[in-house]
């Protein structure tokens, strides 16, 4: 599902809200998630899952085109862990 599809589905289920208002709401929520993760904090939606930031250690990778070794620096990555309810729903 894309962001625009999400906006359309929310707008369809809430006919009292205008499409532009739903788009603003979705953008505010996503921007808040992004800014919270950028600060290194965790975002949790009970039953759905949690977003957190993890450090990926530096490593030596291989360029697939040339086969040359490339040093990859340490970096932060976003990580998502499913909540109990979502996990159970997906693994019935």
Q: Please give the sequence-ordered ranges of beta strands (E in DSSP) within the chain, or none if there are none.
A: 43-45, 49-56, 59-62, 69-72, 75-82
- Identify the sign of the CA torsion 70, 72, 77, 82: positive
pLDDT value at residue 59:
96
pLDDT value at residue 39:
95
pLDDT value at residue 77:
95
Average pLDDT (47-71) is 95
Residue 2 phi, psi dihedral angles, 5° rounding: -90, 170
User: Cβ neighbours of residue 30 under 8 Å, at least 6 residues apart?
Assistant: 3
Q: Checking phi first, is residue 36 left (phi over 0); if not, alpha (psi -120 to 50) or beta? A: alpha
pLDDT value at residue 89:
93
Could you tell me the pTM of the whole model?
0.78
């Amino acid at each position: 599902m894309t962001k625009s599809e999400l906006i359309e589905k929310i707008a369809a289920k809430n006919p009292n809200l205008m499409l532009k208002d739903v788009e603003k709401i979705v953008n505010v929520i996503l921007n808040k998630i992004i800014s919270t993760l950028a600060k290194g904090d965790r975002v949790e939606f009970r039953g759905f899952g949690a977003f957190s930031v993890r450090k990926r250690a530096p490593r030596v990778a291989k360029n697939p085109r040339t086969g040359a070794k490339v040093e990859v620096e340490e970096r932060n990555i976003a990580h998502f862990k499913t909540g109990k309810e979502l996990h159970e729903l997906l693994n019935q």
